[in-house]
């Protein structure tokens, strides 16, 4: 990908630092996004770069208010066993429909490619969308993706016409295989689901961003604070997906707004081109003409 540079900061490690902002060239994908100021998800451009989960809120009303205050245009949903007589699923479905946002069903809890594929097929019918957040979980404690099952399921689902949003690790070769399988969106974790630890492996995420300039990269999971989300956006990620940090906040509605503003600020900062960090202090005020400069 000639001409692509991740960001001034990444370039900084490899060469002279002072001309970095001048040298910085955005790739066509990024220019498009900047012009549209939206997020490209398989050709659907949505205005917000925040994707919000719908689980764990104190009440359906607070969930609805949080989604609205976040400005999110995409919310994640799930499928669970329905009991005889049912009704709870239908009520939730009606609530989400009233919000007027795009739904991104997940395959949360699936432990094999087969389970995830079947769940995706069921979700497509229920939610009437070919979007699927593909999760294949490999470890109960870390909720680490089973990347082998993930790649296998992604291949099958892409061939079946799904638009796959795979929840993966920061591993570069796995991302390559997901892209080869047909994924145009890739969602590496920031940290394990629900931990709120933030960006645990910043360098790896920087590499991922640099290697996949044409893929919409979304940091998914592990985000605990608005500053974590801003950091992900400053690294050049296209969006952030989070749930627990909003749902379990003291005031989920205000926290949703806080994240929304942090994500916008981080994106704007990335587009503006961050200054490279320096090892030594450099005076910001001009040295020439400093009074008393010639004295001792």
Partner 1 sequence: MSGRPQRETIEIVVNGRPLQAPPGTLQALVDSQSLSAVKVATAVNGHFVAASRRATTLLQPGDRVEIVSPRQGG
CA-to-CA separations, 291 to 49, 135, 248, 272, 283, in angstroms, rounded: 48, 63, 55, 34, 15
Of residues 32, 44, 90, 142, which one binds partner 1 by CB under 8 A?
90
Q: Which of 11, 25, 31, 133 is catalytic?
A: 133
Among this protein's residues, is 133 annotated catalytic?
yes
Of residues 48, 54, 69, 264, which one binds partner 1 by CB under 8 A?
54
**Which residue from 3, 1, 8, 2 is spatially nearest to 206, judged by alpha carbons?**
8
Residue 105 near partner 1 by CB under 8 A: yes
**Region of 16-24, 28-36, 117-125, 285-293 interacting with partner 1 (CB under 8 A):** 117-125
Match 């079946």 to its residue by tokens.
Answer: 160
Rounded-to-integer distance, Cα 148 and Cα 127, Å: 27
Residues 212, 186: contact at Cβ < 8 Å? yes
Rounded-to-integer distance, Cα 9 and Cα 144, Å: 29
Match 């994908």 to its residue by tokens.
Answer: 29
**How many residues at the interface with partner 1, by CB under 8 A?**
40
Give the pair of three-digit tokens for residue 97: 């429909």
**Region of 27-35, 47-55, 195-203, 280-288 interacting with partner 1 (CB under 8 A):** 47-55
Nearer to partner 1, 10 or 50 (CB): 50
Question: Within positions 221 to 250, which residues make up the interface with partner 1, using CB under 8 A?
Answer: 243-244
**Region of 104-112, 171-179, 180-188, 263-271 interacting with partner 1 (CB under 8 A):** 104-112
Of residues 33, 50, 77, 150, which one binds partner 1 by CB under 8 A?
77
């Amino acid at each position: 990908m000639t001409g692509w540079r991740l960001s001034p900061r990444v370039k900084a490690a490899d060469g002279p630092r002072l001309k970095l902002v001048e040298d910085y060239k955005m790739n066509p994908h990024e220019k498009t996004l900047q012009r549209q100021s939206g997020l490209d998800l398989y050709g659907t451009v949505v205005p917000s770069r925040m994707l919000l989960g719908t689980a764990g809120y104190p009440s359906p009303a607070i969930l609805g208010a949080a989604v609205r205050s976040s400005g999110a245009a995409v919310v994640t949903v799930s499928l669970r066993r329905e009991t005889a007589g049912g009704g709870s699923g239908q009520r939730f479905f009606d609530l989400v429909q009233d919000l007027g946002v795009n739904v991104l069903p997940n395959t949360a809890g699936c432990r094999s490619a087969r389970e995830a594929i079947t769940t995706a097929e069921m979700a497509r019918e229920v939610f009437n969308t070919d979007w699927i957040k593909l999760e294949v979980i490999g470890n109960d404690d870390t909720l680490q993706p089973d990347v082998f099952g993930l790649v296998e399921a992604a291949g099958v689902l892409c061939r079946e016409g799904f638009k796959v949003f795979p929840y993966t690790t920061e591993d570069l070769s796995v991302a390559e295989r997901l892209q080869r399988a047909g994924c145009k969106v890739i969602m590496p974790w920031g940290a394990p689901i629900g931990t709120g630890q933030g960006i645990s492996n910043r360098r790896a995420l920087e590499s991922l961003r640099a290697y996949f300039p044409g893929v919409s990269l979304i940091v998914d999971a592990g985000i605990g604070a608005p500053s974590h989300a801003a950091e992900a956006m400053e690294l050049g990620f296209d969006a952030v997906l989070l749930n627990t940090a909003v749902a379990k906040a003291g005031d989920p509605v205000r926290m949703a707004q806080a994240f929304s503003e942090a994500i916008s600020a981080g994106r704007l900062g990335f587009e503006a081109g961050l200054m490279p960090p320096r090892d030594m202090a450099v005076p910001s005020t001009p040295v020439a003409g400093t009074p008393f400069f010639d004295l001792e």
